[in-house]
Structure 1
Amino acid sequence: MKKFSPKYIFLTLIAVFALSSCEDVIEVDTPTGDRRLIIDALIRIDTASAITEMRVVVGETNGFFETIPPANLQQITISNLDNPLPDAVVFNETEPGVYVKSLQTELLMQDRWLLQIDFEDQFYLAEASFVAAPQIDQLEQGDGFVFDDDDQEIEVTFTDIAGEDNFYIFDFGFGEFLATEDTFYQDQQFVFSWFYDDPFEVGTELPISILGADQEFYNYMNQLIEQSEDDLNPFQTPTLTVRGNFINATDIDNDETVDNVENEQNFALGYFALVQQNTSTIVIEDL
């Protein structure tokens, strides 16, 4: 088994700061970009559950240093591209910017699915198929550290799905993610250590999840994680401009062509994915 100690922090929002002095207040005109939708359509599927509640959160980009407002959509629908359902599956808005719909888990694990977002007489499309994930074999508490002896080490063991090239996303909570591919541990059990910046109180329960991913979703998450490692500068292009798999298909007139070459700058931010999630929990002990 191989072992490594990665440290990544995944950020999805722009850091906000203020500059002030005792004598003068300096007002700076911040740049603004085109409005875009921000779509969180990561559908986490528990294959042991008969029904999956799909939850999509949609907001709009706003000026720097401003709150991201929810988007008031016309409609969200999902459809099966390979075996069309008799009726349109329409999401219900449960609160501003939050849209929910439940479907049978078995259905979502089959075929290709198309998510459509209708907003201000424009429509955005993204396609996804179910991607499996392995179980987490074991979580163990360690006493190692990277830079500070207050680091909290958790050792994760899992076994790669055999016979194929795989990509996985680990969700460690607190906005911390790791994207990994099985190039160096294909068809093997693998163990690595994850370090939290601060120790947890004895008795704290830490749920850790592994998500399936195809190569495109892996690449998308990897870009977000890599960008978040750099020092954030709110006058540079923010992390949120990493392009996902949504396209603006409003002007496409050929149903067989999912392409927006003529409208390539008009797209929504975010990603649509249907992934298996397996979660294990470790309880922090007094070592």
Structure 2
Amino acid sequence: MKRYYKILTFILLIAATSCTDVVEVDVPEAPSRLTIEASLDWEKGTTGNNQTILLSTSTPFYDNLSPAPVTGAVVRVTNNNSGAVFNFQDQNDGRYTTNTFIPVLGNSYTLNVTYNGERYTGTETLFSVTDISSITQSKEDGEDDEVLEVNVSFEDPEGVENYYFLRFQSRNDRLPELFDIKDEFIDGNEATFYYEKIEDEEDNIKEFEPGDIVDIKLLGISEDYYNYMQLLIEQFESAGNPFSATPVPLVGNCINEDDANNAPYGYFRVTQMVQDTFTFE
């Protein structure tokens, strides 16, 4: 009887190992496209003359390759109100720079990129931003009253429709914390937003500790950019959630003038910005 069990076990082992097949699934790959990172952010109190635009080509999702920098493109930005043209010089590493840009609040700007015989354009308006009134730390406003948080406050101008983009970047983390803000419910009032980290060993997240440094940026943005960032943040935060809505392609404000089917990735934004750094005590 024992021998019978041994033979049966041996047969089952052979069956289990012989039924293992390698299944290869072909994952569809989208064609490589131009990626435009054109963020002309003018910090309050500076001239805003020095600006950089990054161009690269997209890579397949499952590749470990970094985006390939684009060289040889022609890049310029035009002030649609004054007609002034700002040419960006190719640095041969994907960066295109200028030291002559002139930001003017309320003016409209158009980006023009010519690459591989195709023309790409995008248009944005430069909006003002209010100052940060205070940056403090506490344990009161977050989800956990035993965890440190940083609080940023600013006064929203009354009677003016404003949109903001608030960015917290802990120097201990690779990814920032992002907020898209519409002043619908804070018009004319002081608003406070907090950034707190709840410890999570699985995601390697650690709570803030005394000595930790956070870089903070507050930008005045257009309604179009607000809508774009709202969708981007929503999809990022719901990633991995089986009950979240199906992600949709993010379409920026840049278009291909010669081939609508070869639209670029990315966004062209022109903003006024205030920034500061906070160190926990």
Corresponding residue pairs, total: 245
Q: 1:31–1:63: 8 Å Cα contact kept in structure 2? A: no
Q: 1:140–1:155: 8 Å Cα contact kept in structure 2? A: yes
Q: 2:77–2:111: 8 Å Cα contact kept in structure 1? A: yes
Q: 1:30–1:64: 8 Å Cα contact kept in structure 2? A: no
- Mark the CA change 1:274 to 1:63 in structure 2 (over 3 Å): closer, same or farther: same
Return the match for 1:140 from 113, 136, 140. 136
Whichever residue aligns with residue 224 of structure 1, its letter is: L
Distance in structure 1 (CA, Å) of the matches to 2:42 and 2:32: 31
Whichever residue aligns with residue 35 of structure 1, its letter is: S
Partner of 1:71: 70
Return the match for 1:265 from 261, 264, 268. 261
Return the match for 1:159 from 155, 158, 162. 155
Deviation at 1:90, TM superposition (A): 1.9
Q: 2:196–2:208: 8 Å Cα contact kept in structure 1? A: no
Distance in structure 1 (CA, Å) of the matches to 2:42 and 2:22: 50
SS at match of 2:69: coil
Instruction: Say which is worse superposed, 172-181 or 96-105, in terms of deviation.
Output: 96-105
Q: 2:109–2:123: 8 Å Cα contact kept in structure 1? A: yes
Whichever residue aligns with residue 176 of structure 1, its letter is: E
Q: 2:254–2:264: 8 Å Cα contact kept in structure 1? A: yes
Deviation at 1:232, TM superposition (A): 4.7
Distance in structure 1 (CA, Å) of the matches to 2:219 and 2:25: 42
Q: 1:145–1:195: 8 Å Cα contact kept in structure 2? A: no
Given the two structures, how large is their TM-score scaled by the length of structure 1?
A: 0.76
1:168 pairs with 2:164: yes
Report matched runs for 1:74-153 at 5 Å: 74-85=73-84, 88-105=85-102, 107-109=103-105, 111-144=107-140, 151-153=147-149
Deviation at 1:28, TM superposition (A): 3.5
SS at match of 2:70: coil
1:218 pairs with 2:212: no
1:247 pairs with 2:255: yes
Deviation at 1:268, TM superposition (A): 1.1
Question: Over aligned residues, Cα RMSD in angstroms?
Answer: 2.6
Distance in structure 2 (CA, Å) of the matches to 1:265 and 1:200: 46
Whichever residue aligns with residue 59 of structure 2, its letter is: N
CA deviations 1:41-71 (Å, max 9, x no partner) are 1111013112431111111122122222222
Whichever residue aligns with residue 178 of structure 1, its letter is: F
SS at match of 2:228: helix
Unmatched 5+ stretches in structure 2: 1-19, 170-174, 199-205
SS at match of 1:52: coil
Whichever residue aligns with residue 280 of structure 2, its letter is: I
Identity of aligned residues (%): 26
Deviation at 1:245, TM superposition (A): 0.3
CA deviations 1:226-280 (Å, max 9, x no partner) are 01122359xx9977x3001001113xxxxxxxxxxxx543311111111011112
SS at match of 1:133: coil
Distance in structure 1 (CA, Å) of the matches to 2:262 and 2:70: 16
Distance in structure 1 (CA, Å) of the matches to 2:237 and 2:39: 22
Partner of 1:11: none
Distance in structure 1 (CA, Å) of the matches to 2:70 and 2:224: 26
1:37 pairs with 2:34: yes
Q: Which has the higher contact order (CA 8 A, sep 6+)?
A: 1
Distance in structure 1 (CA, Å) of the matches to 2:280 and 2:22: 47
Partner of 1:54: 51
Deviation at 1:175, TM superposition (A): 2.5
Distance in structure 1 (CA, Å) of the matches to 2:88 and 2:240: 35
